[in-house]
Amino acid sequence: MKNILITGASSGIGETIANLLSQKHDVFLSGRRELDKVNYYSCDLIDSFSLDNLYQKAVEYFNSDIDILINCAGQYVYKKIEDMTIDETTYLLDLNFKSAYILSSLVIPNMKKNKWGRIINIGSISGMVGEANATLYSATKSALSGFTKALALEVATDNITVNQINPGWVDTPLANVLDESERQEVIDVTPQKRFVEPIEVAKLCEYLISDSAKGITGQNINLCAGLSIGC
């Protein structure tokens, strides 16, 4: 059994990952919603104070080190670049990228000490192929990809792996903002003609944290029903 910290775990992909991994591991969760759970901390991960609090509360809950970090917190913004405000730009960079960077910096020292660790970043296919009218979102997820590869190199000799999963359109509440015609458009341009299910992302996380995947590090894995290869 490992100690796992999961951000963005109050809904969608993060909640599904948490539900699956909690069957075999001890998990501590964070999200923006208020949930009455002893293993949950409600916060908005846009400043170092919240991030440090989250880390400390997770360590207190486990009464031990964090073995696995899954950075799932993030927000999607679909807006033309000229319509983005400075505040929106700062917020999205802090949430989608900076929070993963800082939390990783907090857990790495003990992972190195223990000579074992796993970090999984949840990116997006938009960071791999780009998405018009979601330039900042794409940029934050692309930055996360570069960070994943660089950090994997940095800790490769410490038995720590760092990988990124890049989902395409996933059938979560986020997809509920689409009307029927928009949902059909997503299906039409996706080679497998379907949305990815959240459990597919969770199952891939389950594999990547296992010893069977110890040779996989610094990788960006596109879980997108073929969206990254064309239509």
Q: Please list the active-site residues.
A: 137
Q: How many of the other CB atoms lie within 10 Å of CB of 76?
A: 14
**Residue 2 token pair:** 């490992």
Beta-carbon contacts of residue 137 (< 8 Å; ≥ 6 apart): 75, 76, 77, 78, 92, 96, 124, 126, 131
- How far apart (Å, rounded) are the C-alpha atoms in residues 104 and 108? 6
Round to whole Å and give the CA distance between 9 and 42.
Answer: 10
